[in-house]
A and B are shown apart, each in its own frame.
Chain A
Amino acid sequence: MSTGSQPPETALGRAGRWGLTAFAAAGFVYLFLPIAVIVVYSFNKPRGKFNIIWQEFTLDNWKSPFAPGPLTDAMVLSLKVAAISAVVATILGTLMALALVRYRFRGGVLIGLLLVLPITTPEIVMGSSLATLFISRGVQRGFVTILIAHVLFCTSFVALTVKARIRGFDWNLEDAAMDLGASPWRTFSRVTLPLITPGILAAGLLSFALSIDDFIITFFNSGSEETFPLRIFGASRTQISPQINVLSTVVLLGSITLMLVGVVFRRRTDGH
């Protein structure tokens, strides 16, 4: 920020500035308050089955975060669902984004609307309508229906994210490569793909995050399968074990690591 050329600040202005910064700092405390509770309780040693009251500090819960059991099974299922739906949604969404940005065709506005609608529809409407379809068609709800639902809400996000990211690119490079005699495939893999990869990766990660945390839509379409959020919902009604806190903290740390990797990766690619 350039502050050098500004007129001297009034006392009121300075107080406002400080007040604003203090407010934002308090905002961050607010954001992290429940997270602190989650992490702290992962070190609790409950005497009964309920991790509700602080008893004493222990590291035991951390010795085997992936101990076999329903919670780990649910986590594995969630990872599977998130991985598959992120891949499928990223492919579907990226293709749509490419078409929308690169080509002129009829019906573009309608398609844009179709992409936005799933995002502006409350989750409970999407979840219940999809479940209604499955029930009326006699489709058994389970793994496949969870995937269908997740791909659905991820696709829109991917298409819009990728679209926003690649809108400003200089596509003449593509034409230049073709003019120089590169085959369409070679052009795509050597020119187009490197251009759009960061956007696609970001969209894929977003899909993964959306999928792994989805509760409401999955709740309607899961049948007898149980994803991680569903297991927590079940556990919240009976047995909130420290393992839930441990796994949540692991997910948190994993996400932070991924984010840091992303930052480093971006720095490097920017450097070239």
Chain B
Amino acid sequence: MTSRGGEDRSKRSAGIVPYGLLSPGILWLLLFFLVPLVTLGRTSLSVKASRFDPNDIRLTWELSNYTNAIGDYSEQFLRSFAYAGIATVACILIGYPIAYVIAFRGGRYRNVLLGLVVIPFFTSFLIRTLAWVNVLSDKGPVVSAIEYLQFSGLLESLGIMSDGRLLSTHTAVVGGLTYNFLPFMILPIYVSLEKIDLGLADAAKDLYNNGWQAFRKVVLPLSLPGLFAGSLLTFIPASGDFVNAKFLGGPRNTMIGSVIQDRFLVQGDLPTAAALSFMLMIIMTIGTLIYARMLGTDDLI
């Protein structure tokens, strides 16, 4: 990799050329990303003048859309962040060892193993989730195994199972989120681990004469950027998801995405949906910035 200085030296300042290259993409992003956010903000402060005509929306600076939305759906907001948070931690716990093994033990099979991580995700997101419905169902392999091993009592008391089932519980929703976003955790961690000089890792082992110490003092800090990116790439989509909650959860496991989807696409209640969406975005942006500051990372991706 070249240093920043070297990179800059190779850069040209060529008047309007860069703007010409940038303008189509920028235009697209402005028109279809920023402008819609403005419209979303407007709609979130409007009232629906007619029950059945979504075109008839009037801007009245209706702040009550927000207060009502918070009043009615704070439960789903909190639940979403809790589910997404647990799923992110689970992804780290499952994904880090996998990334570590691929990076340091994969040898010449590294690329094959990486491919194996990605391959399951070439099937549709929905199909994968539906397959989990099958796997976790009351008569499915997982529940049968738990019953055979007589773990159900333990799992019930831990709140992992309820009424002898996994499907349509919070466990299944969090499990689905974990599964579906796992590669977004593994890949960035792998990328940051891969960059670590093997000699450095070995030197650390010699220095501390203890694998765990070497990992904690050298490898882990160096892989923080990957952990950071992976956490964001997992937490953000997970907290806005409604597919896992729909297929794997019950009426008491709905997430904020379920509510936005229902308000917008089923009830046709655009102002409430817009207020919820807008809040979700603000919370995500602020959260991301705080997280970046905490970990001292300037480069977001």
* Chain A residues within 8 Å of B, Cβ to Cβ: 1-2, 5-7, 13, 16, 20-21, 23-24, 27-28, 30-35, 37-38, 41, 52, 91-93, 95-96, 98-105, 111, 114-126, 128-133, 135-136, 138, 148-149, 151-152, 155-156, 159-160, 167-168, 170-172, 209, 213, 215-216, 219-220, 228-229, 232-233, 236, 240, 244-245, 248-249, 251-252, 255-256, 259, 263
Residues of B within 8 A of A236 (CB): 126, 130, 247
Known: A27-B97, A120-B288, A124-B261. A95 touches B24 (CB 8 A): yes
- Inter-chain contact B10/A171, CB cutoff 8 Å: yes
Chain B, residues 25-68, CB within 8 Å of chain A (1/0): the string is: 11011101111110110110000000000110100000000000
Residues of B that sit less than 8 Å from A by CB: 1-2, 7-8, 10-14, 17-19, 21-22, 24-26, 28-30, 32-37, 39-40, 42-43, 54-55, 57, 94-95, 97-98, 100-102, 104-105, 107, 111, 115-128, 130-132, 134-135, 179, 182, 198, 202, 205-206, 209, 211-212, 232-233, 236-237, 239-243, 247, 257, 260-261, 264-265, 270, 273-274, 277-278, 280-281, 284-285, 288, 300-301
Are B260 and A6 closer than 8 Å at their CB atoms? no
20 additional A-B pairs beyond A132-B36, A215-B125, A236-B126, beta carbons within 8 Å, are A16-B211, A27-B95, A34-B132, A96-B22, A101-B11, A114-B26, A117-B33, A119-B301, A124-B280, A125-B277, A125-B280, A128-B264, A129-B36, A129-B40, A130-B32, A216-B243, A229-B124, A229-B126, A251-B124, A255-B119
Least CB distance from B252 to A in Å reads 20
| Contact between B39 and A252, CB atoms less than 8 A apart | no
What A residues does B107 contact at CB under 8 A? 1
Q: Which listed residue (A160, A170, A263) contacts B111, Cβ 8 A? A: A263
Instruction: Point out the residue from A7, A120, A249 that lies within 8 Å of B232, measured CB to CB.
Output: A120
**Cβ A252 vs Cβ B123 within 8 A:** yes
CB distance from A195 to the nearest CB of B (A): 13
Establish whether residues A116 and B274, one from each chain, have CB atoms under 8 Å apart when the complex forms. Answer: no
B301 and A103 within 8 A (CB): no
A33-B135, A96-B22, A136-B39 given as contacts; is B242 within 8 A of A216 (CB)?
yes
- Docked complex Cα distance between A263 and B30 (Å): 36
Closest 8 CB pairs of A and B: A122-B240, A34-B131, A255-B122, A103-B18, A99-B21, A24-B101, A129-B36, A129-B40
In the complex the two chains form, is A128's CB within 8 Å of B105's CB?
Answer: no
| A residues near B132, Cβ cutoff 8 Å | 34
- State in angstroms the CA–CA spacing of A93 and B22 once bound together: 9
Residue of B nearest to A159 (CB): B25
Q: Are A34 and B11 in contact (CB under 8 A)?
A: no
User: Nearest residue in B to A16 (C-beta to C-beta)?
Assistant: B211
**Inter-subunit contact A103/B17 (CB<8 Å):** yes
Complex Cα gap A21–B182 (Å): 18
Q: How would you classify the secondary structure of chain A's contact residues: helix, strand, loop or mixed?
A: helix
Which listed residue, A33, A96, A160, touches B26 by the CB 8 Å rule?
A96
Most buried by B among A35, A120, A248: A120
Residues of A within 8 A of B243 (CB): 215-216
**Count the A-B residue pairs with Cβ separation under 8 angstroms: how many?**
270
Residues of B within 8 A of A159 (CB): 25
CB distance from B172 to the nearest CB of A (A): 13
Chain B residues whose CB sits within 8 angstroms of the CB of A6 once the complex forms? 202, 205-206
| Chain A residues with CB under 8 A of B18 | 99-100, 102-105
Nearest residue in A to B111 (C-beta to C-beta)? A263
Q: Which chain B positions have C-beta within 8 A of A95?
A: 21-22, 24-25
Q: Which of A100, A119, A128, A167 contacts B260 (CB 8 A)?
A: A128
Residue of A13, A37, A125 near B240 (CB, 8 A) is A125
Chain A: CB-nearest residue to B40: A129
Q: Are B97 and A24 interface neighbours, CB within 8 A? A: yes
| Pick from B28, B198, B236: contact of A155, CB under 8 Å | B28
Known contacts A124-B240, A256-B122, A133 near B12 by CB under 8 Å: no
Given contacts A92-B24, A125-B277, contact A30 B104 (CB under 8 A): no
How far apart sit A121 and B237, CA to CA, in the bound complex (Å)? 8
In contact, B97 and A115 (Cβ under 8 angstroms): no
CA separation between A125 and B276, bound complex, in Å? 9
Contact of A151 among B21, B28, B100, B212 (CB under 8 A): B28
Q: How far is the CA of A122 from the CA of B116 in the complex (A)?
A: 27
A210 to B265, CA, bound (A): 23
7 A-B residue pairs with Cβ-Cβ distance under 8 Å, sorted by A, are A6-B206, A20-B97, A126-B33, A136-B55, A213-B121, A232-B130, A255-B122
Given contacts A38-B127, A128-B40, contact A168 B2 (CB under 8 A): yes
Within the complex, which residue of B32, B104, B211, B241 is in contact with A152, where a contact is CB–CB below 8 Å? Answer: B32
